[in-house]
Amino acid sequence: MRLITAAALVLAQLTLAACGRGADPGLTAEATPAIEAAPASPPVVDLTVTLPPIPAVVMPDVSELTQTGDVVAEQLGDLISPVTGVVLLTAACPSATGELVYQGTTGGDDVFAIDTDGSGHYEKTTPQGLITLDVAADGSGVYYDKTGGKLATITVATDGAGEYYREEPAGTVTLQVAADGSGAYTDDRDGATNTITLTPDGAGQLYDKTDESLVTVNARPDGTGEYYHKLTTGPLTTVEVFADGGWKLSELTTAQLLEVTVAADGTGTYRQSGLHPVDVAFDADGHGLAPAAGVTVAVPAAPSFSVAGRFPPLGKLGTLSPPCATVLRFQQELLFEFGRSDLRPEAGPVLDQVVPALNQAGKPVEINGHTDDKGSDESNLALSQERATAVDAALKARGLTVATTVTGYGESQPIAPNATPDGADDPAGRAQNRRVEIVIPEPDTPATP
């Protein structure tokens, strides 16, 4: 956290010009004229509450949960060894009929109960813990994640207001945010406590306690406020700014107490206790008054308090989309040479693993072929059909017993751009589009995602 230390700024600019050699420390009227030590236009002492870095509260994009293998409890993941060029994922599909899109489990420990508007409940149990989501159609809801020895909860409303709570071995972090940006933040970790409170009227309070120091700030919208800074092994500094424009600074050490009080008209007093006490009253120009008429006090402009920033809204959770299918995606290079539809010898061991997994899943599957957009539509459609048919035949030759539907889609369903934004060829994108997919639909959902 960065906090401007008002006391340091004031003391650096507040200069008491002493009298000549041998002068009495009490600064009597007989002192010789002082040397002006202050700048002609001393800068404003501005005490600003600056929010410390707050860990980003990123809403889980629950609409994307069903686009990854994390949602499905790896229906085939435990049955197929990792192979370069083979991707296991799930697909979300639109509902054709009925209010309830999906209810039940995905074959493991994931539970869905989702309506057509995207609202619903999602629950995932893993060896690391439990994750749950309860989401409304407008994106509001509650997220709960207790995994890996940590706990995180997020509650959000449609207007961006909400609450965030995180608990970990080092401590806790909490955030309550209103739609207008007001709220409260507390970081109580590693033996330190930092709290920021912002109120709707623009005021703010800060409490920051570490092993080395304690800082408190109370800042009001009109620039008034109070500042307190205590070092564990150092001085105590306080600053007060009053509604009439006056202000007061004090610094207490084991050796002395220094106090500066300035009225709205610029007049004030400078007092210092200790071995060499000082007590000076000065006019609006900083000139000492009797009995310290020979003293000049360089008085800076009045300090002020302000609050920098507001809490950002938490955002929304989004809506849920149920998985409708599990997809095994094979890149072309793993199965076929470029432009050909006969399987490479290296494809055999991969398909050997797939057959037992598909038979164990026990569901009808689609085998779909896809190409990039090189060549004509007709040739790409034919090539994609030939490749899908070749995979179907190879799987059945290895003992596949579930029903299959074979379709070639040609270049019509790319998953990556075939060209860059400036129109240049995109080889990496084309490589992703050249693929064969085995799709295992969930019951009562459209067959093709």
Tens of pLDDT, residues 295-326: 887 777 778 787 766 777 776 666 665 556 77
How far is 313 from 180, CA to CA, in rounded Å? Answer: 8
Q: Calculate mean pLDDT across residues 262-288.
A: 88
Higher-pLDDT residue of 268, 44: 268
How far is 288 from 23, CA to CA, in rounded Å? Answer: 15
CB 129 within 8 A of CB 137: no
Assigned domain for 431 exists: yes
- For residue 377, the SS3 value is helix
Pairs from 174-179 (Cβ < 8 Å, separation ≥ 24): 175/54, 175/57, 175/311, 175/314, 177/311, 177/312, 177/313, 177/314, 179/313
Question: For residue 296, what is the enclosing H or E element?
Answer: none
pLDDT recorded at residue 154: 86
375 burial level (CB within 10 Å; 0-12, 13-18, 19+) = middle
Q: How many domains does the chain have?
A: 1
Share of the chain above pLDDT 90, in %: 19
Domain coverage including residue 427: 323-441
Assigned domain for 203 exists: no
Q: Calculate mean pLDDT across residues 176-186.
A: 87
Strands 192-198 and 183-189: antiparallel
What average pLDDT is seen over the chain? 73
Q: Which two tokens stand for residue 66?
A: 């069903």
Give the side-chain half-sphere CA count within 13 A for 142. 7
Assigned domain for 88 exists: no
Residue identified by tokens 């002609």 is: 40
The rounded radius of gyration (Å) of the Cα atoms in the chain is 36
Per DSSP, 98 falls in state: -
- pLDDT tens digits along 381-413: 999 999 999 999 999 999 999 999 999 999 988
CB 3 within 8 A of CB 228: no
Assigned domain for 390 exists: yes
Lowest mean pLDDT among 6-20, 166-180, 190-204, 250-264: 6-20
Assigned domain for 422 exists: yes
Question: Count of CB atoms within 10 A of residue 14's CB?
Answer: 21
Question: Count of CB atoms within 10 A of residue 277's CB?
Answer: 13
Q: Calculate mean pLDDT across residues 90-113.
A: 49
How far is 126 from 108, CA to CA, in rounded Å? Answer: 10
Assigned domain for 416 exists: yes
pLDDT recorded at residue 406: 94
Lowest mean pLDDT among 65-74, 101-110, 261-270, 320-329: 65-74
pLDDT recorded at residue 448: 40
DSSP, residue by residue, 33-70: PPPP-S-SSPPEEEEEEEPPPPPP-PPP-GGGGGGSTT
Assigned domain for 368 exists: yes
Whether 370 has a pLDDT exceeding 80, the answer reads yes
Q: Calculate mean pLDDT across residues 125-137.
A: 83
Picking from 111, 113, 2, the residue whose alpha carbon sits closest to that of residue 52 is: 2
Is the backbone peptide bond immediately before 443 cis, with ω within 30 degrees of 0?
no
Give the side-chain half-sphere CA count within 13 A for 148. 5
Query: Would you put residue 129 in left (φ > 0), alpha (ψ -120 to 50) or beta?
Result: left
How far is 385 from 10, CA to CA, in rounded Å? Answer: 81
pTM: 0.57
Strands 110-115 and 162-168: unpaired
Per DSSP, 182 falls in state: -
Residue type, position 217, single letter: V
Give me the residues paired with residue 12 across strands.
none
- The domain spanning residue 337 has which CATH number? 3.30.1330.60
Whether 51 has a pLDDT exceeding 70, the answer reads no
Picking from 252, 251, 253, 246, the residue whose alpha carbon sits closest to that of residue 267 is: 246
How far is 361 from 107, CA to CA, in rounded Å? Answer: 9
Strands 404-408 and 110-115: unpaired
Give the side-chain half-sphere CA count within 13 A for 25. 8
Q: Which two tokens stand for residue 12?
A: 């650096």
Assigned domain for 405 exists: yes
Q: Go through 65-97 and write b for each residue having 16 or more CB atoms within 10 A of its CB, e for each that does not.
A: bbeebbbbbbbbeeebeeeebbebbbbbbebee
